[in-house]
Amino acid sequence: MFDINFFRNVFAGQINFPNTRSSGYEQLSHDGLTMGTLYIGRPGSGKTSSLARHLVDYFKAYPDRAIFVLDWSGSITDSILTMVAQDDEKLFKRIVYDEMGHPEWVIPLPEFSHMYGGAYEEQVQRVATNLTKLAPELIKDAPFLAGLGIREIAPELFRIITSVTNDYGETWQLTEAKKLITDAPTLRRCAAKFGYKVPQAKWFFEKNFLPLRENERELRTYAILALLGAIETPETRARIGYYRPAWTPREAIKNGMMVIVNGARLINQPNTQHYLFTQVYSLIMSEINKRIPGDPQDQPVALVMDEVYSLLSIPGMAEEIGKLSPLYRSRKLELYIVLQSLSQLAITLREQIWSIGNIVCFAVTNFQEAYEMAQQLFLYNPTTVKMSAKSETQQPVTETDRGQYLQIANQIQRMKHRECILRRYISEKVLEKYVLWVPKTKEIRVAPVPLLDIKEKLLKERGVRVRDALEVINQRKLSSEIVTPKVPAL
């Protein structure tokens, strides 16, 4: 059957795609966001502004829902803050701005704190798991040295750290890990003084680790020391080592806040950036995991990953990200992934990315990726006529699937600025019948705003000066209290 309407629209310069209806703007259904959303498009295609507009509108419409934005480049951060300043400055009261690597101000986020909720053991396991995922090649190449150190010694070390307190009752942090590993007398003192809180770790170090020769201990802890090197810069030490977090996922979810984590200052420090983004992600997911699946009282939580390479490109993390959309719908997690191209994904995530339900596609540079996008978004129509019959006795020639997808891929590759196509779920159970074609995304009012001043003000609301945080960390010492473990009566 000849698709007359499709070709009439093509020749008229209107809809360029089959099984498509025109839409005035790129509207995602809020009830279908738990299916996950992929934004993809080359630089300058308009995807960042489109997503920022959607997030700000969503933030305004649902004051009881939290949004976490992990921004690798800082572009979506600037777009969101600019739009909020133009639309409604009252929204800033619900925004936490976290600029990693700022030379003067730091938003503290220690690995261990009672403010996160749950037992310290959960936090120990979370940090140890993060280190394992950040060093898959190291563990693979040296399973008996690197693997043993990260999987066995690191958790025991973190248990000792969480048991140590100073005179103010503050727990030691990951910034003290190197000192404990390299300074055997201090480690022995900590195990003897506070080991009653973590008897398993006390036994491990006193009977298994400390009796080893010094060079043997160095070999077993080399991988841990290498990974902890990522947090040795002053700004990162201030962030990880301060005793109190400036924000927690629990607080943000309870109060319907938007937390924006900007990693643009750390682009030239990839190891540090990878570590810090992995930490933030794990803290958020740790809170989501505490939810009871299907609890009607839980509000949806949005998690936006804008080209965060540490989460999308490192195989250990990417494999977990690929499972979020299908597995966490019952916990009401709304996942957004933003890409310039599919090549930014680790192989494991590349294979899983199409489990995401909503897809907003702008112009794609790579033709092979445009072809793959055409296959995922559009159904093959075997009745499309490539060449009509020249006589009554002849049959028309139908277009093959490759031919159809080649035409669509060409159109995807050549879409104009702010033009996009959208596959969306109306709800978790209902997929929109048609692909939406948006000739031009929603108009955004452009007006100059004092963006640097806005960022500085937001940082100071919850931040601590780097020098003050470092002073607290550098003066940290063991509690002078002599602890005598209680012995149960016979």
Model confidence pLDDT, tens digit, residues 144-159: 566 677 888 999 999 9
Q: What angle do CA 411, 39, 407 make, to 5 degrees?
A: 15
pLDDT at 148: 74
Q: Which region among 14-28, 107-121, 269-283, 321-335 has the lowest average model confidence (pLDDT)?
A: 14-28
Q: Could you tell me the residue ranges of all domains in the chain?
A: 4-109+245-449, 114-236+458-474
- The pLDDT of residue 426 is above 70: yes
| Mean pLDDT value across residues 153-174 | 89
- What are the pLDDT digits (tens) for 456-475? 999 999 999 999 999 999 98
Question: Confidence band (pLDDT; 50, 70, 90) for 487?
Answer: very low
Quick one: tokens of 150? 């990260």
d(CA 134, CA 315): 9
124 and 162 Cβ atoms separated by less than 8 Å: yes
| Mean pLDDT value across residues 310-316 | 78
Q: Which region among 3-7, 98-102, 365-369 has the lowest average model confidence (pLDDT)?
A: 3-7
- The pLDDT of residue 308 is above 50: yes
pLDDT at 14: 56
pLDDT at 475: 87
Any bridge partners for residue 258, and if so which?
Answer: 67, 95
**Long-range CB contacts for residues 484-488, cutoff 8 Å, separation at least 24:** 485/196
pLDDT at 112: 95
133 and 316 Cβ atoms separated by less than 8 Å: yes
End-to-end Cα spacing for the chain: 90
pLDDT at 4: 46
CB burial string 62-73: b at 16+ within 10 A, e below: eeebbbbbbbbb
- The pLDDT of residue 315 is above 90: no
For the ranges 16-25, 238-247, 311-320, 379-388, the maximum mean pLDDT occurs at 238-247
- The pLDDT of residue 123 is above 90: yes
pLDDT at 58: 96
Higher pLDDT pick, 201 / 169: 201
- The pLDDT of residue 238 is above 50: yes
* CATH number assigned to the domain covering 4-109+245-449: 3.40.50.300
- By C-alpha distance, which of 288, 283, 311 is closest to 301? 288
Residue with tokens 């780097």: 466
Q: Which region among 98-107, 136-145, 448-457, 464-473 has the lowest average model confidence (pLDDT)?
A: 136-145
Alpha-carbon torsion (158, 160, 166, 168), positive or negative: positive
- By C-alpha distance, which of 455, 453, 449 is closest to 96? 455
pLDDT at 481: 46
pLDDT at 15: 58
The 3-state DSSP class for residue 24 equals: coil
Q: What does the mean pLDDT of the chain come to?
A: 87
The dihedral region occupied by 259, where left means phi > 0, alpha psi between -120 and 50, and beta the remainder, is beta
Residue 33: partners with Cβ closer than 8 Å, 6 or more residues away: 300, 302, 334, 358
Q: Which region among 14-28, 49-63, 277-291, 417-431 has the lowest average model confidence (pLDDT)?
A: 14-28
Question: Confidence band (pLDDT; 50, 70, 90) for 12?
Answer: very low
pLDDT at 10: 44
φ, ψ of residue 263 in degrees (nearest 5): -105, 20
